[in-house]
């Protein structure tokens, strides 16, 4: 056994605190193989869940990252720019090993970091960055290294999943379910990254890098938030045999990839329809293996620390691999997007209750070649000035639907922009079934 690796840990919050606790209880694969040579946070005087007094303190994470005595820099600060990025770059420029849980940094700057890493002979590991404690990074990169991945379907944001599950279970509206998520510690004071889909989009970009060797600009992935989903939508979906879940999807379509993040209707028979609360799950359809399911806690001190330890043990065992399974030169950044995929959709249109309204809505859909599969208007809503109408479409092109929705939004009887949600996996068999 060589000398112990000297760790520099920057960020001592949920994940950093969890890591220090886990390191203090290190099992046989870690014992005697590391020393904590420095820690960094914003404020050394803050009360913490773990005693950091034995460790040298650094006000500046960049200075810690660049210290010659540090072998492994562990970045648990967060954010795509600022100190996290600068500190990781400083460590990679010196050829050090970097472990990070920072999906925003990887999704926004992964390609440049990988190049830096290769140029200077360092390494970059990030098991904690997607689905927290669920070992999906290693699963895709190592376990499925020899497979052809066709589809990744996932629930990657525990906050959104908790909110939608709670709205359904307790008949709450979005604001009340969000408040509950915040009270239980499942949502930040500013929940925008989670509920808008931006957090899932970062994670999906990383999974795309691993599954298809394409680490795209996250902005090229179609994204929708869960904020506009109402209890009426959830009940309406249920009546049709679906549940609404925050779904992240990647699918190979010939030479193109369909990529999207947002609330979607899932048939009750689909495995993701039953992943509730704050859990994460990732389903991978690959040849010649078939379907694999990864599921578990996607956040929290313990699960995330566990993923960081896995990266550390890989390093100690000399088992680190190219971060995305291939070198920077083979990792493309341009997503060959399949933007006009065909699918079925659910629509809710809030309209004035007056004659001819439904005809006008169906006219706009028909004009774009979108056929209605089912229609429902809540009996209790009748006789009111404003009523929601619920529709499902037959298979249609996304661009045609978007155009029809824009036209419906312009109708004088339409009171707010229509809500459109994809109906996922209802007719497409998985590759091994098809």
Restricting to residues 353-372, which ones interact with ligand NAP according to CB under 6 A? none
Is position 165 an interface residue for ligand NAP (rule: CB under 6 A)?
no
Is position 43 an interface residue for ligand NAP (rule: CB under 6 A)?
yes
The interface region with ligand NAP, picked from 75-83, 140-148, 267-275, 348-356 by CB under 6 A, is 75-83
3-state secondary structure at position 122: coil
**Count of residues interacting with ligand NAP (CB under 6 A):** 25
Is position 133 an interface residue for ligand NAP (rule: CB under 6 A)?
no
Is position 8 an interface residue for ligand NAP (rule: CB under 6 A)?
no
Is position 304 an interface residue for ligand NAP (rule: CB under 6 A)?
yes
Residue with Cβ nearer ligand NAP (74 or 223): 74
Helices and strands, counts by H and E, the chain: 13, 17
Is position 107 an interface residue for ligand NAP (rule: CB under 6 A)?
no
Q: How many residues does the chain have?
A: 434
Alpha-carbon distance of 188 to 194, in angstroms, equals 8
Is position 299 an interface residue for ligand NAP (rule: CB under 6 A)?
yes
Burial of 224-257, coded b for 16+ CB within 10 Å and e otherwise, reads: bbbbbbbbbbbebbeebebbbbbbbbbbbeeeeb
Which of 168, 203, 393, 419 minimizes the C-alpha distance to 274?
A: 168
Site track for ligand NAP across 395-424, x = CB under 6 A: ------------------------------
Alpha-carbon distance of 26 to 23, in angstroms, equals 5
Q: CA-based angle 121:123:125, to the nearest 5?
A: 170
Is position 14 an interface residue for ligand NAP (rule: CB under 6 A)?
yes
Q: Around Cβ 379, how many Cβ atoms within 10 Å?
A: 7
Among 8, 16, 325, 422, binds ligand NAP (CB under 6 A): 16
| Catalytic residue list contains 203 | yes
Is position 128 an interface residue for ligand NAP (rule: CB under 6 A)?
yes
Q: CA-based angle 175:181:184, to the nearest 5?
A: 145
By CB under 6 A, name the binding residues for ligand NAP.
Answer: 10-16, 40-43, 46, 61, 76-78, 83, 101-103, 128, 132, 299-300, 304
Q: Which residues does the annotation mark as catalytic?
A: 203
């Amino acid at each position: 056994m060589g000398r112990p690796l000297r760790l520099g840990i920057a960020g001592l919050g949920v994940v950093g605190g969890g890591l220090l606790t886990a390191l203090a209880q290190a099992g046989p694969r870690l014992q005697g193989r590391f020393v904590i040579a420095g820690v960094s946070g914003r404020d050394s005087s803050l009360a913490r869940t773990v005693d950091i007094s034995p460790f040298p303190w650094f006000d500046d994470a960049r200075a810690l990252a660049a210290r010659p005595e540090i072998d492994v820099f562990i970045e648990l600060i967060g954010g795509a720019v600022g100190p996290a990025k600068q500190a990781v770059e400083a460590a990679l420029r010196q050829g050090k090993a970097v472990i990070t849980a920072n999906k925003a940094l990887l999704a926004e700057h992964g390609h440049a970091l990988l190049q830096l890493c290769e140029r200077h002979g360092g390494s970059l590991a990030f098991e904690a960055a997607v689905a927290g404690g669920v070992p999906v990074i290693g699963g895709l990169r190592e376990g499925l290294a020899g497979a052809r991945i066709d589809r990744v379907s996932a629930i990657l944001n525990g906050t959104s999943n908790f909110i939608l599950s709670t709205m359904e279970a307790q008949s709450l509206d979005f604001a009340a379910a969000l408040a509950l998520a915040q009270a239980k510690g499942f949502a930040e004071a500013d929940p925008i990254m989670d509920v808008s889909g931006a957090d899932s989009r970062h994670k999906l970009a990383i999974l795309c890098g691993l599954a298809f060797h394409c680490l795209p600009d996250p902005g090229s992935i179609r994204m929708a938030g869960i904020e506009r989903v109402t209890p009426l939508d959830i009940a309406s979906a249920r009546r049709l045999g679906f549940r609404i879940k925050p779904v992240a999807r990647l699918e190979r379509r010939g030479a193109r990839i369909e990529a999207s993040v947002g609330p979607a209707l899932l048939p009750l028979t689909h495995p993701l329809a039953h992943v509730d609360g704050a859990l994460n799950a990732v389903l991978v359809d690959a040849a010649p293996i078939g379907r694999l399911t990864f599921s578990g806690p996607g956040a929290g001190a313990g699960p995330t620390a566990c993923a960081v330890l896995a990266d550390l043990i890989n390093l100690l065992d000399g088992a680190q691999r190219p971060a995305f399974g291939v070198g920077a030169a083979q990792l493309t950044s341009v997503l060959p997007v399949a933007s006009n995929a065909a699918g079925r959709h659910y629509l809710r249109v809030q309209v004035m209750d007056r004659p001819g309204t439904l005809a006008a809505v169906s006219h706009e859909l028909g004009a774009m070649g979108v056929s209605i599969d089912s229609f429902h208007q809540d009996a209790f809503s009748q006789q009111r000035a404003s009523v929601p109408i619920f529709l499902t479409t037959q298979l249609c092109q996304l661009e045609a639907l978007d155009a029809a929705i824009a036209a419906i939004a312009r109708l004088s009887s339409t009171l707010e922009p229509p809500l459109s949600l994809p109906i996922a996996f209802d007719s497409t068999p998985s590759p091994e079934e098809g």
